[in-house]
Amino acid sequence: MTGEIGQLALCFALALSLVQAGAGLIGGLKGSSIARQVSSSAALGFAVFVCVAFGALVAGFVTSDFSILDVAQNSHTLKPLFYKVTGVWGNHEGSMLLWVLVLAVYTMFTVLGERGGARLTSAALGIEGLLAAAFLIYILFASNPFLRIDPPPIEGAGLNPLLQDPGLSFHPPMLYFGYVGLSATFAYAAAALLTGEAGANWARAARPFLLAAWCALTLGITLGSWWAYYVLGWGGFWFWDPVENASLMPWLVATALLHSSLATERTGAFRSWTLLLSIGAFSLSLIGTFLVRSGVLTSVHAFASDPERGRFILCILLVAIGGALGLFAWRAPKLESGTAFEPVSRETALLLNNVLLTAAAATVFLGTLYPLFLEAATGTRISVGPPYFAITFAPLFVALVIIAPFGPRLAWRRDDLLPAMRALAPGLGVAILGGAIVLAVATPHAAAAACCVALAGWVLVASVIDLARRTKSNLLSLGSFAPVLAHAGLGLTLLGIAGTTFWKSEALEVLAPGQSLEVGGYRLQFDGVTPVAGPNYRADRATVDVMRNEEKIATLRPEKRIYPVEGQAISKTAIRTTGFSDLYVALGDDRGQGHYAIRAYVNPLAPFIWFGGAAMALGGLTSLLSRIRLGLRRPALAPAE
């Protein structure tokens, strides 16, 4: 039954999303309040039916209803309940349904918030309805999670063990909250273009959605990077892999948008540019979904061998992006532009930030897609790896970090550079000092390491100076922590990257029980391996005593797990963190007679990478919370209809 309920709910949701789209657009264009109310009600119904469908799929997974193909292919009775539930989005069909569920959540906030006035909301609802309908059609016709099989298998095929991990369980929903949140910003931008209300009002209306999306995207990327670090077994945290890049591109553009819309909201500057960025950010989310989902990344040929889904997403992509850009080209020239500011002002800083961030996004785009285009066009296969991004992406990012502290420091419209420089001088001092210390303590990569530390010092100290200034002049509010935290987070992440990249110590040895290895000031004594039985796996668990100055300070238990159902083995690293440094131990292969390969790293400052990500997200969150508080205290100024 659950399958049929889900299927039916999806059909209703599709019908209602079409009503939402049509009525919403009419309400937005004609200003008809009846149409707007119809759209809101339809949106509510759409959200309810999507929840029902999603609930039905969850029920299918929890009860292991293997007559549903998707469940049979991706679940197993022995799987712990937690992973039965997270397995819902651990596959293509379920994750697309999650996409629509998240869209329903944002749609609800659009209805309830009714930000920016009735017409804008109505038009935004219309656009969201169109997106929902497109994805629901895709789900129903090309990616149906409720397909039945007859006869049902006795047991399911299980879930990829890599996905049976807490970090990765929340990574996809986080990313989707980011991707789909950008759809709300996109909907507002398109609504602003349609209704002609493209001033500061729409930017203010879309801001909470943008902030929520940006926080989620930041957290999602951080989680993914952390997961790669502790699961993949060699301590790397970012691989410039196309799938990672697919999430980095929307993040970079969303970050640019976050900054440019500050100006749009405040002074009405950069109107059309902010609109274009909103379209760009969501377009890159769609492209990211397309890249990951169509198989085009594995190779151009994988796309051609199973083209239906890829073509479908490509169609959605072209219509959404093409439509929005067409709308932009038609309407944007009519936006009046009387922006006025002096070359030394916050506007200029934000503008430079935007130039660098979009160029960085373009670089990642080129590096990710160029091999595909080249192969399709000429048949030549090339690889674009970390060395490319070190040459092209890193300089842009360095420039970005250098200008970051000037943004919050300079006043709107006009300011003087000298006082700002004088105020930020301690930051420069710390940067030079930090760089010099690193250069003195020579390592092979001394210059690059010194540069990283100097930049981190600069942006961190500048954040503290900014905070001090705000405290002194009573400008301190919840929202003023946002730039401080976000920029400081950037500095923390940079420190972490410098620490792990340049000062990592590693050791790899084959040990017999009782033998030990030395790494980064620790002695690790291997005390043998014991077999352990998990709920749906069996594991070899090593016992490794961590000794410092011949005193035992901890015991680590790295594992190698074998999942018989899926026929896969994964390693479970053991990490002991002090907050400043990670001791990272992975169990390698069995070399016979109780001998095992043990790989160990000491990664100084590694936790800072993720602390930094969390701090950035927290910065976004404080801004979001301060907006919500303001919104509660003082109802949004709705323009007359």
Partner 1 sequence: MRRALLLCFLISPLLATAVQAATGPDRLADPKLEARAVALQKELRCVVCQGESLDESAAPLAADLRRLIRARLEKGESDAQIENYLVARYGDFILMRPPLEPGTYLLWFGPLIAVTIGGVVAAAAIIRARRNERAETPR
Chain residues 428-447 in contact with partner 1, contact rule CB under 8 A: 444
Cβ 123 to partner 1, closest distance in Å? 28
Tokens standing for 587? 């169990």
Q: Are 600 and 579 in contact (CB under 8 A)?
A: no
Residues 280-339 that bind partner 1 (CB under 8 A): 292, 297-298, 338-339
Cβ 474 to partner 1, closest distance in Å? 28
Compose the 513-552 pattern: x for residues touching partner 1 by CB under 8 A, - for all others. ----------------------------------------
Cβ 627 to partner 1, closest distance in Å? 27
Cβ 480 to partner 1, closest distance in Å? 25
Residue 246 interacts with partner 1 (CB under 8 A)? Answer: yes
55-63, 181-189, 382-390, 611-619 -> range binding partner 1 (CB under 8 A) = 382-390
Going edge to edge, which strands form the sheet with 596-604?
505-511, 596-604, 581-590, 574-577
Cβ 597 to partner 1, closest distance in Å? 5
Residue 569 interacts with partner 1 (CB under 8 A)? Answer: yes
Name residues whose C-beta falls within 8 Å of residue 350's C-beta, 6 or more positions apart in sequence. Answer: 259, 260, 262, 263, 270, 407
Count helices and strands in the chain by DSSP H and E runs: 19, 10
Residue 342 interacts with partner 1 (CB under 8 A)? Answer: yes
Q: Are 27 and 123 in contact (CB under 8 A)?
A: yes
Residue 393 interacts with partner 1 (CB under 8 A)? Answer: yes
Residue 420 interacts with partner 1 (CB under 8 A)? Answer: no
Q: Are 62 and 15 in contact (CB under 8 A)?
A: no
Whose Cβ is closer to partner 1: residue 112's or residue 376's? 376
Cβ 362 to partner 1, closest distance in Å? 4
Residues 585-614 that bind partner 1 (CB under 8 A): 586-589, 597-599
Residue 247 interacts with partner 1 (CB under 8 A)? Answer: yes
Cβ 342 to partner 1, closest distance in Å? 6
Whose Cβ is closer to partner 1: residue 41's or residue 272's? 272
* Size of residue set near partner 1 by CB under 8 A: 85
Q: Are 98 and 176 in contact (CB under 8 A)?
A: yes
Tokens standing for 37? 């109310």
Q: Pick from 130, 168, 410, 556: which binds partner 1 (CB under 8 A)? A: 168
Cβ 220 to partner 1, closest distance in Å? 9
Question: Nearest-CA neighbor of 311 among 286, 290, 339, 281?
Answer: 290
Whose Cβ is closer to partner 1: residue 112's or residue 391's? 391
Whose Cβ is closer to partner 1: residue 417's or residue 436's? 417
Residue 94 interacts with partner 1 (CB under 8 A)? Answer: no
Residue 560 interacts with partner 1 (CB under 8 A)? Answer: yes
Compose the 104-143 pattern: x for residues touching partner 1 by CB under 8 A, - for all others. ----------------------------------------
Residues 618-637 that bind partner 1 (CB under 8 A): none
| Sequence letter at residue 509 | E
Cβ 140 to partner 1, closest distance in Å? 22
Tokens standing for 324? 């929005």
Dist. CA 242–CA 37, nearest whole Å = 43
Q: Are 98 and 89 in contact (CB under 8 A)?
A: yes
DSSP string over 437-491: HHHHS--TTHHHHHHHHHHHHHHHHHHHHHHHHHHHTT---GGGHHHHHHHHHHH
Q: Pick from 63, 67, 73, 392: which binds partner 1 (CB under 8 A)? A: 392
Q: Pick from 241, 306, 416, 518: which binds partner 1 (CB under 8 A)? A: 241
Question: Nearest-CA neighbor of 516 among 544, 549, 542?
Answer: 544
Whose Cβ is closer to partner 1: residue 4's or residue 518's? 518
Give the SS3 label for residue 601. strand
155-163, 453-461, 530-538, 574-582 -> range binding partner 1 (CB under 8 A) = 155-163
72-80, 143-151, 347-355, 402-410 -> range binding partner 1 (CB under 8 A) = 347-355
Residues 201-240 that bind partner 1 (CB under 8 A): 224, 227-228, 231-234, 236, 239-240
Query: Terminal CA-to-CA distance of the chain, rounded, Å?
Result: 47
Q: Are 215 and 617 in contact (CB under 8 A)?
A: yes
Burial class of 527 by CB neighbour count within 10 A (0 to 12, 13 to 18, 19+): middle
Whose Cβ is closer to partner 1: residue 109's or residue 341's? 341
Q: Which residues are bridge partners to 542 per DSSP?
A: 529
Question: Nearest-CA neighbor of 506 among 605, 606, 601?
Answer: 601
Does 151 sit behind a cis peptide bond, omega within 30 degrees of 0 on the bond before it?
A: yes
DSSP assigned state of 480 = G
Residues 476-515 that bind partner 1 (CB under 8 A): 508-510
Residue 475: C-alpha distances to residues 466, 469, 489 (Å): 11, 8, 21
Burial class of 198 by CB neighbour count within 10 A (0 to 12, 13 to 18, 19+): buried
Whose Cβ is closer to partner 1: residue 10's or residue 356's? 356
Cβ 163 to partner 1, closest distance in Å? 6
The helix-helix angle for 166-195 and 271-294 (nearest 10°) equals: 140
Cβ 249 to partner 1, closest distance in Å? 12
Dist. CA 30–CA 33, nearest whole Å = 9
Q: Pick from 11, 45, 55, 413: which binds partner 1 (CB under 8 A)? A: 413
Q: What are the contacts of 301-304 at 24+ separation with CB within 8 A?
A: none
Residues 348-367 that bind partner 1 (CB under 8 A): 348, 351-352, 354-356, 358-359, 362-363, 366-367
Please tell me the number of Cα atoms within 13 Å of 157 on its side-chain side.
11
